[in-house]
Amino acid sequence: MIQKILNKKILRREEIITLLQAEDKNDIHAIFQKADEIRKKYFGDEVHLRGIIEFSNNCEQNCLYCGLRKFNRALSRYRMNETEILQTAKKICDTGIKTIVLQSGEDFNFSGEDIYRIIKSIKSEFDAAITLSLGERDFEDYKIWKEAGADRYLLKHETANAKLYETYHFGQKLYDRVGHLNYLKSLGYQIGSGNLIGLPHQTIEDIADDIILCRDLDVDMASFSPFIPSPNTPYKKQKPADVNSVLKVMAVARIVLKNVHIPVTTALATIDLNGREKGLAAGANVIMPNFTPAFYSDKYSIYPNKKSDVDPMPALRSILLAAGRNMAEGQGHSLKII
Ligand code: SF4
């Protein structure tokens, strides 16, 4: 049954659910093997590294699962200034990494023009692609940032279940999130979306719908992260996601989505010391090391004990070597636009 599904080109919802429900050791092995084959077919053994700069932990939203939520008064807030952001971008580029990810909460203290200026400066000084991960912003901002040279926008939908979406994100609607993603795509951004696995009330069917939504949105990158309960949030007492379930979702997503970039998330590396190695074996082809200065990074606590290295490169090189993979040299644009 599983093998029959794995031999198909396009999978229906029920088939995706069957793969996600697989428990038998041989079936799971076959799923991981297929995911690895597909990853190799499209991306070879190259792993794209994207250097993250978490430049502000301020956020206007109140997502129930997130330690950066506005109502978390216990969190000490910070904003990096433009000089610090550029210095960190230089540090990333000095390692040979060719994508800079500018990440923050929904922080409107950084105006559209501020971000425009930062993108322009990075683009004029470095040979690097820029991914923005700044939450939902004004459509006009997306437009000027694209004109400034931004290449990609990461905006996870978190759950494709509209009811759960409204539960987790007070006052927000899935319909709007999808609207933002479609608009970003229409502007020429390479878009990334994805979910959180293990959230309260989520079902296997919901996760199948998350993968299908990524397919329907025709994303360039899809990210599947484990939920980790964060103190000072309404979900602080909930159970964290199970590592093996997350790996299975990544593998099934690779089988369904084929040529999209799939990262090993920092959250996976946080809940499992060997999370990066395991993620690479489950269909991932991207790692996103964090270059935020340690003084700030500790405060970017979406969840506790976030994996963070002073210098992530030595560990990454040994992980790639052990996995028989190598660091990609280019900017790692979407295969869909090449
Ligand atoms: S998940 Fe994003 S938008 Fe929601 S509270 Fe956290 S940083 Fe803000």
Per-residue pLDDT band at 309 (split at 50, 70, 90):
low
Going from the Cα of 68 to the center of ligand 1, the distance in angstroms, rounded, reads: 6
Question: Could you tell me the two tokens for 49?
Answer: 């590294």
Mean pLDDT across the stretch 202-216? 98
* 284, 246 Cβ separation under 8 angstroms: no
Ligand 1 atom, smallest distance to 302 CA: 6
pLDDT of 308 higher than 80: no
- Over residues 12-40, the mean pLDDT reads 98
DSSP classification of residue 56: E
- Does the beta carbon of 11 sit less than 6 angstroms from any atom of ligand 1? no
Q: How far apart are CA 7 and CA 210, in angstroms?
A: 22
- What per-residue confidence (pLDDT) applies to 338? 61
When pLDDT is cut at 50, 70 and 90, the band that residue 304 belongs to is confident
pLDDT, tens digit (0-9, with 9 covering 90-100), for 59-107: 999 999 999 999 999 999 999 999 999 999 999 999 999 999 999 999 9
**pLDDT (mean) for 319-334:** 95
Residue-wise pLDDT for 255-281, tens only, equals: 999 999 999 999 999 999 999 999 999
Query: What are the residues whose beta carbons fall under 8 Å from the beta carbon of 45, sequence distance 6 or more?
Result: 324, 325, 326
pLDDT in tens, 134-153: 999 999 999 999 999 999 99
pLDDT, tens digit (0-9, with 9 covering 90-100), for 171-204? 999 999 999 999 999 999 999 999 999 999 999 9
* Residue 237, both tokens: 């007492």
Q: Give the domains, in start order, of the chain with CATH numbers.
A: 44-241+285-327 (3.20.20.70)
Q: Residue 311: what pLDDT? A: 81
Q: Measured from the CB, is residue 155 less than 6 Å from ligand 1? A: no
Q: What is the mean pLDDT of the chain?
A: 96
Mutation to probe ligand 1, out of 57, 68, 303 (largest number of atoms < 8 A from CB): 68
